Amino acid sequence: MSEQDSSSVSTAPPNQVAAWTFFLQWAKHPLTTASMVPSGRQLTRQMMRQLPADARHVVELGAGTGVFTQALIEHGIAPEDLLVVELNPEFHGLLCRRFPALEIINGDARDLQAIVARAGMDAGVDAVVSGLGFLAMPREIQKQILEAVFAVLGKGRSLIQFTYGPKAPIPQDLLEELGLTATRVGFAPLNLPPAFVYKLSRRAD
């Protein structure tokens, strides 16, 4: 897979605009926007490092201002193979302006099966990269999102998730109920705040 020229698919606003938008949305929605600032470079590198070498079709959940989105493009994921889902309408608008070549859905991760089907990713998804704030969610919503994610992920594929706590963001009993495992695969101490990276996979895989 050849690397894409990120300038052909991104009209990135100044970093200050993205950071200010992120802060305003955190102030309005502190439970669903997990941090006051976007993810830093060290965390972004850690997340991209977990992508399968042969990953083609990728879904990003909770893209925020597009830090991981830009990194996925620079990693070599083709615009037509990247599907971005963002619930917050302000972030969705910013993402659409920043990445006009991408399919960016203003939608709920719990509806991921229907969203993926409409996007035509019938061959299955190779990775899901998530910036969702699982720690702030009720257990039932966590469950519904995970069920939707693993319904679209191909066999042996994983959900790549970061969290600000040292433990997995999904309670152990829920992981067991869904037949999943959570493995800590990275740490970004320079991120603000420091963050841990986890891969969630099916036990059968």
Instruction: Report pLDDT for 162.
Output: 96
pLDDT, tens digit, for every residue of 9-33?
Answer: 444 444 544 444 444 444 454 444 4
Phi then psi for 59, rounded to 5 degrees? -115, 135
Tokens read off for 62:
């909770």
Task: For residue 192, name the pLDDT band (cuts at 50, 70, 90).
Answer: confident
Q: What radius of gyration do the chain's Cα atoms show?
A: 16
Q: Which residue has the higher pLDDT, 167 or 33?
A: 167
Asked whether 149 and 112 are in contact (CB, 8 A), the reply is yes
Give the CATH superfamily of 10-202: Vaccinia Virus protein VP39 (3.40.50.150)
Domain ranges of the chain: 10-202
Instruction: Report pLDDT for 39.
Output: 66
Asked whether 85 and 115 are in contact (CB, 8 A), the reply is yes
